[in-house]
Amino acid sequence: MSAHPLRRIVIYGNEFWDFYNKLPEKVKLRVDWTLDLVRSVEVIPEKYFKHIESTDLYEVRVISGSNIYRIFCFFDKGKLIVLINGFQKKTQKTPKNEIERALRLKKQYYDQK
């Protein structure tokens, strides 16, 4: 990966950390690797980073074995990515309540700026 990151990642609030800290070590390593990829490659493959339709949110996509994890984020000021929350995906479709939570956290972020 690039020695000079193309994007900066920050974490807003505690929800991401609450999610991350409960993950098994192996999954944490996978999350760290994926975030490094998001930070450092020019064009991020959709397998790892995808826009969520009808919103201005994105999801960082992490697969570890048969488990699927998603971390919601958004862009602030171009190259700054703000991570807000994560969850383990258990169904084909992203749960609406998780998207609503992410949108609420994004609004809080901007309200506090």
Does residue 93 sit within a domain?
yes
Does residue 62 sit within a domain?
yes
pLDDT, position 57: 97
pLDDT digits (tens, 9 = 90+) for 34-70: 999 999 999 999 999 999 999 999 999 999 999 999 9
Range of the domain at 76: 8-112
Does residue 1 sit within a domain?
no
Considering its fold, how many domains does the chain have in total? 1
Mean pLDDT of 88-108: 92
pTM of the predicted model over 0.85 = yes
**Where residue 80 sits, what CATH number does that domain have?**
3.30.2310.20
Does residue 2 sit within a domain?
no
Task: Residue 43: name the closest of 7, 75, 85 by CA.
Answer: 7
30: Cα separation from own chain's centroid: 13
pLDDT, position 2: 54
